[in-house]
Every structure is written in C-alpha cells, then in structure tokens.
C-alpha cells in the first residue's frame, strides 16, 4: 500500500520535466493522473522514519497547488512571498526530516553505502527496484550539485509564521528521484494504460518553453 507521504513525493516528482521531443505533442498537457496509479512503487520509507516525521506529513490533493518552480510559469506572475502555498514549506520539512533520519544524504552529499543498506532494509525482495532507485539517487544528486554550483544561493521566500524554514535541496532531490523512477519504472509493475503512457511521455519529453530556473530552483539548499 502506497503511503500518503509517498504519494506526496510522487506528485512532487511529476512536476519536473526535461528536454522536448518531436514525437510528443508538447503543446497540450494530458489529463493529470495520480502517479501511484501508473507506477505503484514499493514503499521505501520505513515505519520508524514515518513516525518520527509524522508532524510534517500532509495529504496531497489529486493535483495540489504548485510552487513557482513546479508550475514553470509562476515566476513570471508572482513575486511576493504570500503566493507560496503553506503546503510547499511543509513538504520541504517532511522530506528534510526523512533525509535526516535515514542518514544517506548529509551535508549535500550522497552516501552510497548507507543508501545501499537502507534500500536492502526497506525493499529487500526487489533487487531490480533497489538498483533503479540507487541509480536515480546518484543521477539526481549530481543534478542537485550542478544546480547549486551553477546558481549558488539566492534569496528565499519566508514561510508562514506557524511553519519552519527547512532546506530545499532534499525536496528537489526527492522530486527528481521519483520522477526518474516513473520514467524508468520496472515493466513488471508499470500500468501500461493510455493515460499513464501519455503522462509519462509528456513529462519525459516536454517542458514549458517559458520555463527558467526560479529562485527556489537556484537555491536548492
């Protein structure tokens, strides 16, 4: 059973995109489908970690409000802090908490040995998924470092008074990992329906022509 926190991270992952392709109509976005219906990825957030981070857990809507960097267009319209939905800050704190508890990503560095141990513990019966997940983390950790090196630190919007300011890089990394997993979902668990295939091809091949790195993308810290 997919947990609420995992659904949240999957939705975050779907909000990322890569280069365009002539074989896909990038002018029309397909109808949104919950990614858990397409690739029911096994739970790899342990019960212990979820309990320790429960205070940050939120239930995602079918298509939650996107932050500026997720929508790819908000940066051109919004410049004030109050436009950042409170859930975005809570998501960042949830993912940051998870990373702190697992210990395989500390000080902006991926510890592959700890990641191996953690994946063997949480998904012991699926070696293929362990491999795909590890490869996704390695690839996305490199992308996170590239963003950091290229753009450095930029001013951050302030969270609502009742919420904490948490690092963004874990959320960036996790979104990238889940998006990577959706693109490389093992065929044994992939739902090969028309809507799932359309969504995967769109997010794999298309990006908004107006999308530019936002201040939140650039800091990713």
The structural domains of the chain, with segments of one domain joined by +, span: 4-14+25-53+84-219
Q: Give me the DSSP letters along 40-83.
A: -PPP-S-HHHHHHTGGG-----SSPPPPHHHHSSGGGT--SGGG
According to CATH, what is the number of the domain 4-14+25-53+84-219? 1.10.238.270
Residue 203 and residue 182 in contact, taking contact as beta carbons nearer than 8 Å:
yes
Give per-residue pLDDT as tens, 30-66.
888 877 788 877 667 788 888 898 887 755 443 444 3
Local confidence band at 140 (pLDDT 50, 70, 90 cut-offs): very high
Residue 190 CB neighbour total at 10 angstroms = 16
The C-alpha angle with vertex 43 and arms to 11 and 46, in degrees rounded to 5, equals 115
Q: What does pLDDT average to over the chain? A: 72
In this prediction, what percent of the chain has a pLDDT beyond 90?
Answer: 13
pLDDT of 162 over the 60 cut = no
Residue 216 and residue 67 in contact, taking contact as beta carbons nearer than 8 Å:
yes
- Tell the residue number behind the tokens 């994946």, with chain if given: 119
pLDDT of 82 over the 60 cut = no
Give per-residue pLDDT as tens, 105-138.
988 889 999 999 999 988 888 888 889 889 999 9
- Would you call 170 helix, strand, or coil by DSSP? helix
What is this structure's pTM? 0.65
């Amino acid at each position: 059973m997919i947990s609420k926190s995992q659904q949240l991270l999957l939705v975050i992952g779907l909000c990322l995109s890569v280069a365009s392709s002539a074989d896909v109509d990038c002018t029309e976005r397909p109808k949104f489908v919950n990614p858990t219906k397409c690739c029911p990825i096994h739970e790899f957030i342990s019960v212990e970690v979820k309990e320790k981070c429960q205070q940050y857990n939120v239930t995602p809507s079918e298509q939650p409000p996107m932050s500026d960097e997720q929508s790819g267009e908000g940066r051109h319209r919004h410049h004030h802090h109050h436009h950042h939905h409170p859930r975005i800050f809570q998501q960042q704190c949830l993912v940051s908490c998870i990373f702190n508890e697992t210990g395989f990503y500390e000080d902006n560095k991926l510890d592959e040995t700890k990641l191996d141990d953690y994946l063997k513990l949480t998904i012991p019966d699926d070696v293929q998924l362990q491999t795909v997940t590890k490869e996704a983390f390695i690839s996305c950790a490199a992308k996170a470092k590239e963003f950091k090196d290229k753009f450095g630190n930029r001013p951050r919007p302030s969270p609502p008074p009742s919420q904490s300011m948490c690092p963004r890089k874990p959320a960036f990394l996790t979104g990238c990992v889940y998006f990577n997993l959706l693109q490389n979902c093992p065929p044994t668990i992939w739902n090969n329906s028309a809507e799932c295939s359309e969504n995967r091809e769109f997010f794999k091949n298309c990006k908004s022509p107006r999308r530019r790195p936002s201040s939140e993308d650039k800091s990713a810290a």
